[in-house]
């Protein structure tokens, strides 16, 4: 497995995110480092639909403004907003790749319809020592 394509984060953005997550140094790209990044991410980056809700209520036909990883992370740094599974996992994926982790995006079906599974959930998988997390 190789790293899946991620939006390359500018180094200054990567450093700003690490600082906001409370890191003084970059985490190691091992399981302990992954645990530390994910734990801090879960405590500090909200899982919410605020940006999505404002966008939908406004009637815009444009793509969600915090969908791209860089936009998601910049809004989080500026406003403290998070996102639902797709933008949140995209931001986490891009951060992990920028840190050197072997990360890839994933999707899952939360339900099936008559045509089969409908992939409505986004996630990030990271391989460490040959094991997916």
Give the residue from 108, 122, 132 showing the smallest Cα distance to 1.
132
pLDDT in tens, the chain (133 residues): 444 456 689 999 999 999 999 999 999 999 999 999 999 999 999 998 888 888 889 888 877 777 889 999 999 999 999 998 889 999 999 999 999 999 999 988 877 777 777 777 889 999 999 999 9
State the CATH class of domain 11-132.
Answer: alpha beta
Phi, psi of 61 (to 5 degrees): -100, 0
Domain residue limits, the chain: 11-132
Structural contact between residues 72 and 94, judged by C-beta atoms closer than 8 angstroms = no
Please give the Cα distance from 44 to 123 (Å, whole number): 17
CA distance linking residue 45 with residue 2, whole number of Å: 26
Between strands 102-113 and 131-132, the pairing is unpaired
């Amino acid at each position: 497995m190789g790293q899946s394509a991620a939006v390359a984060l500018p180094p200054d953005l990567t450093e700003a995110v690490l600082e906001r997550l409370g890191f003084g140094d970059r985490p190691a790209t091992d399981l302990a480092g992954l645990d530390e990044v994910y734990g801090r991410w879960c405590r500090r980056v909200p899982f919410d639909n605020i940006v999505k809700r404002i966008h939908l209520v406004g009637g815009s036909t444009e793509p969600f403004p915090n969908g791209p990883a860089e936009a998601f992370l910049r809004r989080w740094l500026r406003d403290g907003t998070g996102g639902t599974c797709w933008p949140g996992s995209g931001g986490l994926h891009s951060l992990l790749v920028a840190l050197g982790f072997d990360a890839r995006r994933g999707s899952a079906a939360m339900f099936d319809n008559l045509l089969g599974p409908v992939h409505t959930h986004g996630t990030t998988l990271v391989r460490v020592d040959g094991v997916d997390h």
